[in-house]
Amino acid sequence: MIDINLIRKNPELVKENIRKKFQDEKLELVDKVAELDKEYRALKQEGDDLRASRNKLSSEIGLLMKNKQIEEANKLKETVVANNKRTVEIEEKEKELEQEIKKIMMVIPNIIADDVPIGKDDSENVEDKKFGEPVVPNFEIPYHADILEKLGGLDKESAGRTSGNGFYYLMGNPARIVSAMLSYARDYMIEKGFTYCIPPFMIRSEVVNGVMSFAEMSAMMYKVEGEDLFLIGTSEHSMIGKFKDQIIKESDLPITMTSYSPCFRKEVGAHGIEERGIYRVHQFEKQEMIVLCKPEDSMEWYNKMWSYTVDIFRNLNIPVRKLDCCSGDLADLKIKSCDVEAWSPRQMKYFEVGSCSTLGDAQARRLGIRAKGEKGNYYLHTLNNTVLASTRALIALLENNLNEDGSVNVPKALQPYMGGLTKMEVVKK
């Protein structure tokens, strides 16, 4: 949610930002908010004047009563009663306008960074850098579900019976290596100075509305029937929600945290749920990172955060690239975002394995997260980044560490978490 002062002082900037995001249907909302805000401020001023008048009249009534001027005092009392009635009307109308303004402001997109590439959708995202040389071996790489089957590691048929399409059983060494990757990612982030946390896996609607747009919520999150609780789609949501309505000491900044959680997603959309594999599923595990910092430090943290993900994947022998997200691909709360994509030698292209975003003070405004500085309180900037998502990382690891005989090399970084195992062998039936 942007600062309403932007609409008061520079509505054309807000409109131009909407155009850059190709959301022209929202242009009229800027003028509507401006009109409602003007009405709200006029009412507020009238209410303030009436309250000031009431205090003045109360003093005058006291003097008149003291001087036995009862008739004059009663006339002023009638004025006070009328003013009080109007004040109540104004306060009720103010609340209505506040709610209407907030509802509209929640859907006006955040102001994107100046260096965000302009484009309509993810097809116009821009490659920034590559890390590691993409390799295509001289043998055919099977689909990842087939690799997992040979390793005795995947059972979607049984999961279909217990839970339905979009779920899976991981078993044996593939299940073990997922735990190893998450443990390695956790320890890597701890070494970078991040505090490890296991957060709540369900959050209330007020937190959901604070961290994401309504459209994202509808497409992603599962609601617990009969309760004001949602299953998290990423631990970022409950991690940022931890600081809701808090005023944080400036000396405690930056706050850097890394968290583990299962993630649950509807995955509503044209892409659908993958029938055979685990690329797009309803449930996976994830190591996440978040930062809360001063506004002037957010871009420095942004660049640190995505580089950590790159480093982790390179340590798993996986070539990756950084892709800058274009304006039309940015969620409404984001100022800037990039994807880290892993090389798929089977497909001979890159695919997304992580996303890093800075949201400015949008989430902080929605959730009331502020810092106490020398010149007063201010809203913090929030950032988030995928350290490692289990299913996507597993696919990338399998394809980039596969041997011709179907076995998969265990990257050196993971071997201590695998009891020294250097290779996952094919399971003989």
pLDDT of residue 390: 97
Q: Domain 4-105 maps to which CATH number in 3.40.190.10, 1.25.40.20, 1.10.287.40, 3.40.50.720?
A: 1.10.287.40
- Model confidence at 214, pLDDT cuts 50, 70, 90, reads low
CA–CA distance, 404 with 235 (Å, rounded to integer): 37
Query: Dihedrals φ, ψ of 128, to 5°?
Result: -105, -60
Packing angle of the helix pair 11-20, 27-66 (nearest 10 deg) = 150
Q: Do 256 and 194 contact (CB within 8 A), yes or no? A: yes
89-108 confidence digits (pLDDT tens): 999 999 999 999 999 999 99
The side-by-side arrangement of strands in the sheet containing 381-389 is 126-131, 320-324, 336-344, 349-358, 381-389, 283-293, 255-264, 195-197
- Model confidence at 269, pLDDT cuts 50, 70, 90, reads low
pLDDT of residue 385: 97
Secondary-structure breakdown of the chain: helix, strand, coil percentages, each rounded to the nearest 5: 45, 20, 30
Of 313, 314, 303, 319, nearest to 357 by C-alpha is: 303
**Average pLDDT over every residue of 34-39:** 96
CA–CA distance, 154 with 143 (Å, rounded to integer): 13
pLDDT of residue 268: 61
- Pairing relationship of beta strands 283-293 and 320-324 according to DSSP bridges: unpaired
Which run of H or E residues covers position 383? strand 381-389
Asked whether this chain's domains 4-105 and 122-424 adopt the same fold, the reply is no
Of 198, 275, 262, nearest to 390 by C-alpha is: 262
Q: Could you give the maximum distance between any two Cα atoms of the chain, in Å?
A: 107
Angle value at C-alpha 316, between 325 and 220, nearest 5 degrees: 40
Residue 270 has pLDDT above 60, yes or no: no
Q: Which residue has the higher pLDDT, 170 or 276?
A: 170
* Tokens, residue 125: 């995202």
**Could you say which DSSP state residue 402 is in?**
B
Taking the CA atoms of residue 240, residue 245, residue 249 and residue 252 in that order, the dihedral angle to the nearest 10 degrees is -20
**Could you say which DSSP state residue 282 is in?**
S
Packing angle of the helix pair 27-66, 70-105 (nearest 10 deg) = 160
pLDDT of residue 271: 61
Average pLDDT across the chain, whole number: 93
The reply to whether CATH 3.30.930.10 applies to domain 122-424 is: yes
Q: Residue 142: which region, alpha, beta or left (left: phi > 0; alpha: psi -120 to 50)?
A: beta
Of 266, 318, 332, 261, nearest to 290 by C-alpha is: 261
CA–CA distance, 70 with 36 (Å, rounded to integer): 43
65-79 confidence digits (pLDDT tens): 777 788 888 778 888
CA–CA distance, 167 with 281 (Å, rounded to integer): 6
* Tokens, residue 65: 């009563």
Amino acid (1-letter code) at residue 255: I
**Average pLDDT over every residue of 273-299:** 92
Of 402, 411, 425, nearest to 150 by C-alpha is: 425
pLDDT of residue 273: 63
What are the extents of the domains in the chain? 4-105, 122-424
* Tokens, residue 230: 């949602």
Q: Which residue has the higher pLDDT, 216 or 192?
A: 192
**Average pLDDT over every residue of 235-248:** 96
Q: Do 391 and 309 contact (CB within 8 A), yes or no? A: no
Q: Quick check: pTM over 0.85? A: yes
Q: Do 341 and 350 contact (CB within 8 A), yes or no? A: yes
pLDDT of residue 429: 75
pLDDT of residue 55: 78
Q: Do 301 and 254 contact (CB within 8 A), yes or no? A: yes
pLDDT of residue 76: 80
Range in 121-135, 268-282, 327-341, 357-371 with the lowest mean pLDDT: 268-282
133-190 confidence digits (pLDDT tens): 999 999 999 999 999 999 999 999 999 999 999 999 999 999 999 999 999 999 999 9
Taking the CA atoms of residue 342, residue 211, residue 263 and residue 409 in that order, the dihedral angle to the nearest 10 degrees is 20
pLDDT of residue 212: 84
Q: Is the dihedral of CA 151, 147, 312, 116 positive or negative?
A: negative
Of 400, 421, 419, 399, nearest to 410 by C-alpha is: 421
pLDDT of residue 408: 98
6-29 confidence digits (pLDDT tens): 999 999 999 999 999 999 999 999
Query: Dihedrals φ, ψ of 355, to 5°?
Result: -145, 135
pLDDT of residue 381: 98
**Average pLDDT over every residue of 308-321:** 98
CA 37 to chain centre: 28
Q: Name the percent of the chain lying above pLDDT 70.
A: 98
CA–CA distance, 320 with 37 (Å, rounded to integer): 47
